[in-house]
Structure 1
Amino acid sequence: MDRTAVEQRAPGGLAVIRHWISTFWPAPVLVDTRERARAFAGAGIGILLTAWLGLLLPDPAGLWLVAPLGASAVLVFAVPASPLAQPWSVIGGNTISALVGIACVLLIPDQRLAAAAAVALAIALMFPLRCLHPPGGASALFAVLSHQTEFSFALTPVLFNSVVLVLAGIVYNSLTGRRYPHVQLSPASTGLLLSRFTSSDLDTALAHYNQVLDVSRDDLEELLHHAELAAYHRNLGELRCSDVMSTQPIAVEFGTTLRQAWALLREHRIKALPVIDKSRRLVGIVTVADFMRHVDLDAHDEIGARLRSLVKLSGLTHSDKPEVVGQIMTRQVRVASDDRHVMELMPLFSDGGHHHIPIIDAQNRLVGIITQTDLMRALYKAVRP
């Protein structure tokens, strides 16, 4: 390969190397200063209490505090929601691993092989016993490196240290607003009815992922629901009525005959007609329900004939029968301005029983209408991939 070709390929190669090196730099931990202070203060208090009580116990070997407990403190106080930091994980993981380490010292003369076997077997046991705890591997290794041959070492200081640290974690985390033990609860409802995944979907995804996560399954589900809700609000929350309304709605005037209004409803397959004046200002709304109110619905036969009679012009100058839209329309109309957020209309459709809301501009002129169909279309666009 000539020199020119090498020079042409060098920038790309350097970019690959830089990208590879950048993968070693971790992402920032997204907690504020207050949470960080809470974590390191708790860890310090927990270790201090454990060490102080450990010194009160008689121990022939002089061991009153084991090093792996420092790692346990990180989990208990910094990430108390982690499945790896729960009381049984700390106590069972450290104690069982220490027992495994002692057994390996007694059974395997070569310290190197004993160390490897102790860590491997400790992990193998922590899985089925549901006490997977990273510092447990350190407890097994510590037992081998310090050549512990008495099983009492797993009781004092390992078990004793672990119990004291867990008790300190329960008190401290509770006082500082953290749930510990972090009992798994059903995820709170997010209010997002159009959620695109279920609990069984998450279980399928986790089975496919097939790796240990340092977050509980229920917490993960709740986080995903909150993320979906945030995306939902981002997509729909910024939408205004002018973005989703049906523009140039079919409207009628006060003097429009009932026959003409009914024909428009039938022709366009709609259920409501805004009623406007000459300046397109809203004065009412006429709906299919308004027509039905003037038909005797108690008599179930010949409803069609009675409706035809209602919309038929009488030809009289004076009549008790309504002839025009203004005589049967609803005058009190729920409206919304075109710059109003669509999210604010949700309660009107879901709880208020509205099926259509006229939209007006700053001059109170009719500029559009939002129906349930328009709202569903906006919801679909907000949650689709």
Structure 2
Amino acid sequence: MTNRHGDADERSRTRSPSKFFVPILAGATLRDRILACMGALVGIGLTGVLCAIGYGRGFDVPLLVAPMGASAVLLFAVPASPLAQPWSIIGGNTISALVGIAVSRLIHDPVVATGVAVGLAIAAMSLARCLHPPGGAAALTAVLGGPAVASAGFMFAFVPVAVNCIVLVALGWLFHRLSRHTYPHRHVPVVVNPHGTSDIPAQMRLGFREEDVDGALEDLGETFDIDREDLNRLLHRVELRSLECSHGPFRVSDIMSRDVICIDENADVPAARKLLLDHEVRSLPVLDEADRLIGSLGLRELSQPGIRIRDLMSKARTATPDTPASQLIEPLTDGRTHAVTVVDDGRRVIGIVTQTDLLASVLRSPERPALNS
């Protein structure tokens, strides 16, 4: 038997000379790091230029405050972080600057003022739900910024700090949109019971639950730079991959039915209902005149008013023959999808995987070879 831990230790010793060059961020890739560098270059450069143009006062005023550099690191390198969201950047820096200015006017000893300013800035950002690490630097800048900041007074928090933040966030949004990254970060929709009953959704009845995640975080007693919903989603993905490994490398082609009952988009409702009942299936792939998949039809769709199938069909969930079977667990347990249609590159139907097919594959012994239909 192979000692996996021994192999891991050996690999660790082999890689030790270059361990300092391994990204410390989970999921980080070389492409992401290069994009982050390009984004920071463009974002900070354009922020300075646009603010200079907007102020119209030359370079005798601070056009770009130092905390923007740290904000750019978060915005472009870890855009999914809760600390890098628009309100965190704008609110965190602006509120912290206001706190720093207020403290500098009340406490004239710079040593004491700097500590008080940063501490109160953290408290203020926490209360306003906009915790942002560069906010500490914004508070320090307000205290130690010298005559230019002192003469600006509380307006320093808005011009240039808030203006810098707004411009930087806008440029970050545009950059991530062009680079096909999502920003602001979108949370995964909360899973709900589609049947309108008090039961929790089927996919959440086994394994860990949200309260387990909360309990584990409380047990560890640490604060992590990841959104709670993202952590929950990540752990569920780990479960699915673990399930795939424990049941072997199943592919959709191993478990799909190949003799698929389909219906033409121009067929009528009685014909569709007859096919569903005669073959005891819960959904039918709908084909166009070129035999390409264009939708799915079940009893739920047939309950709606309409004459032709093409007017009643819903969007079909699809997969390819090489798709890992474990990836169908999520769609087939959402309470609405009863089957996933398997298509080729031309969207022609070559098979179908039902909830029964998937359940049979999950329950089979790992030592037993997969059966091909």
| TM-score of the pair, normalised by structure 2 | 0.56
What are the Cα deviations for residues 341-384 of structure 1, in whole angstroms up to 9, with x where unaligned?
9989x999x84868xxxxxxxxxxxxxxxx96x964748xxxxx
Matched residue SS, 2:183: coil
1:143–1:82: structure 2 CA closer, same or farther, 3 Å change rule? same
CA distance in structure 1 between the aligned counterparts of 2:325 and 2:50, rounded to whole angstroms: 61
Query: 1:124 is matched by which residue type in structure 2?
Result: A
CA distance in structure 2 between the aligned counterparts of 1:353 and 1:220, rounded to whole angstroms: 30
Task: Give yes or no for the alignment of 1:173 onto 2:172.
Answer: no
Point out where structure 1 has 5 or more consecutive residues left out of the alignment.
Answer: 1-21, 241-340, 355-370, 380-385
CA distance in structure 1 between the aligned counterparts of 2:246 and 2:207, rounded to whole angstroms: 15
CA distance in structure 1 between the aligned counterparts of 2:117 and 2:31, rounded to whole angstroms: 39
Q: Which residue is equivalent to 1:91? A: 90
1:291-306 aligned at under 5 Å gives the runs: none
Check the 8 A contact 1:187/1:222 in 2, yes or no: no
Check the 8 A contact 2:247/2:362 in 1, yes or no: no
CA distance in structure 1 between the aligned counterparts of 2:191 and 2:22, rounded to whole angstroms: 28
- Structure 1 residue 144, shift from structure 2 partner: 1.2
CA distance in structure 1 between the aligned counterparts of 2:157 and 2:225, rounded to whole angstroms: 26
Q: Which residue is equivalent to 2:166? A: 163
Check the 8 A contact 2:125/2:131 in 1, yes or no: yes
Q: Which residue is equivalent to 1:203? A: 214
Task: Give yes or no for the alignment of 1:230 onto 2:227.
Answer: no
What are the Cα deviations for residues 269-307 of structure 1, in whole angstroms up to 9, with x where unaligned?
xxxxxxxxxxxxxxxxxxxxxxxxxxxxxxxxxxxxxxx
CA distance in structure 1 between the aligned counterparts of 2:206 and 2:181, rounded to whole angstroms: 28
Q: Which residue is equivalent to 2:273? A: none
- Structure 1 residue 227, shift from structure 2 partner: 1.3
CA distance in structure 2 between the aligned counterparts of 1:37 and 1:351, rounded to whole angstroms: 43
CA distance in structure 2 between the aligned counterparts of 1:93 and 1:232, rounded to whole angstroms: 42
1:116–1:353: structure 2 CA closer, same or farther, 3 Å change rule? closer
Check the 8 A contact 2:117/2:139 in 1, yes or no: yes
2:23 to 9, 12, 28: 28
Q: Which residue is equivalent to 1:51? A: 48
CA distance in structure 2 between the aligned counterparts of 1:353 and 1:95, rounded to whole angstroms: 56
Bigger mean CA deviation after superposition, 174-183 or 42-51: 174-183
Check the 8 A contact 1:94/1:135 in 2, yes or no: yes
1:118–1:154: structure 2 CA closer, same or farther, 3 Å change rule? same
Query: 1:185 is matched by which residue type in structure 2?
Result: V
CA distance in structure 2 between the aligned counterparts of 1:26 and 1:116, rounded to whole angstroms: 34
1:43–1:198: structure 2 CA closer, same or farther, 3 Å change rule? same
Q: Which residue is equivalent to 2:104? A: 105
- Structure 1 residue 192, shift from structure 2 partner: 6.6
Query: 1:46 is matched by which residue type in structure 2?
Result: G
Q: Sequence identity of aligned pairs in percent?
A: 43
1:351–1:193: structure 2 CA closer, same or farther, 3 Å change rule? farther
Q: Which residue is equivalent to 1:79? A: 78
CA distance in structure 1 between the aligned counterparts of 2:64 and 2:326, rounded to whole angstroms: 58
- Structure 1 residue 34, shift from structure 2 partner: 1.7
1:352–1:103: structure 2 CA closer, same or farther, 3 Å change rule? closer
1:376–1:123: structure 2 CA closer, same or farther, 3 Å change rule? same
Check the 8 A contact 1:80/1:181 in 2, yes or no: yes
Check the 8 A contact 1:88/1:131 in 2, yes or no: yes
1:193–1:129: structure 2 CA closer, same or farther, 3 Å change rule? closer
- Structure 1 residue 198, shift from structure 2 partner: 1.4
CA distance in structure 1 between the aligned counterparts of 2:144 and 2:68, rounded to whole angstroms: 16
1:135-284 aligned at under 5 Å gives the runs: 135-147=134-146, 148-149=149-150, 150-186=153-189, 195-238=206-249
- Structure 1 residue 224, shift from structure 2 partner: 1.0
The RMSD of aligned alpha carbons is 3.8
CA distance in structure 2 between the aligned counterparts of 1:139 and 1:46, rounded to whole angstroms: 18
CA distance in structure 1 between the aligned counterparts of 2:91 and 2:355, rounded to whole angstroms: 55
Q: Which residue is equivalent to 1:38? A: 35
Number of equivalent positions: 241
CA distance in structure 2 between the aligned counterparts of 1:151 and 1:179, rounded to whole angstroms: 34
CA distance in structure 1 between the aligned counterparts of 2:67 and 2:206, rounded to whole angstroms: 43
Q: Which residue is equivalent to 1:129? A: 128
CA distance in structure 1 between the aligned counterparts of 2:246 and 2:92, rounded to whole angstroms: 45
- Structure 1 residue 231, shift from structure 2 partner: 1.4
Check the 8 A contact 2:243/2:326 in 1, yes or no: no
Check the 8 A contact 1:236/1:342 in 2, yes or no: no
Check the 8 A contact 1:192/1:229 in 2, yes or no: no
1:65–1:343: structure 2 CA closer, same or farther, 3 Å change rule? closer
CA distance in structure 2 between the aligned counterparts of 1:143 and 1:58, rounded to whole angstroms: 22
Check the 8 A contact 1:89/1:131 in 2, yes or no: yes
Q: Which residue is equivalent to 2:344? A: none
- Structure 1 residue 194, shift from structure 2 partner: 7.7
Check the 8 A contact 1:66/1:158 in 2, yes or no: yes
Query: 1:156 is matched by which residue type in structure 2?
Result: V
Structure of higher CA gyration radius: 1
What are the Cα deviations for residues 97-155 of structure 1, in whole angstroms up to 9, with x where unaligned?
01111111111111010011111100011111000000000110111111333111111
CA distance in structure 2 between the aligned counterparts of 1:109 and 1:239, rounded to whole angstroms: 69
CA distance in structure 2 between the aligned counterparts of 1:108 and 1:146, rounded to whole angstroms: 15
Q: Which residue is equivalent to 1:382? A: none
